[in-house]
Amino acid sequence: MAYTVTKNTLIGDILDHDSTTAEYFLQMGMHCLGCPASRGESIEEACEVHGVDCDELVEKLNNHLAQQ
């Protein structure tokens, strides 16, 4: 079964599962991925702070993970 992310999935959990997802967070302007605070944020929280469409990011991440 493929790993699936939701708006509530923590960024740290996603990165721990597949570090190649980092590029999607960097593209949205989230350049502090090593910061403990950022790793504890949900996708929804990070998108709100960075002004990014959460549904679009979740879709991109799930499409990427499905191909792994």
Range(s) of the domain holding residue 60: 11-66
The per-residue pLDDT for 16 is 93
On whether residue 37 sits in a domain, the answer given is yes
3-state secondary structure of 10: strand
Residue burial 39-68, b: 16+ Cβ < 10 Å; e: rest: bebbbbbbbeeeebebeebbebbbeebeee
Residue 5: burial class (beta carbons within 10 Å; 0-12, 13-18, 19+) = buried
> pTM (2 decimals)?
0.88
Position 36 confidence tier, pLDDT thresholds 50, 70, 90: confident
pLDDT at 65 over 70: yes
Distance CA 57, CA 28 (A): 9
The number of distinct structural domains making up the chain is 1
pLDDT (average), residues 7-15: 95
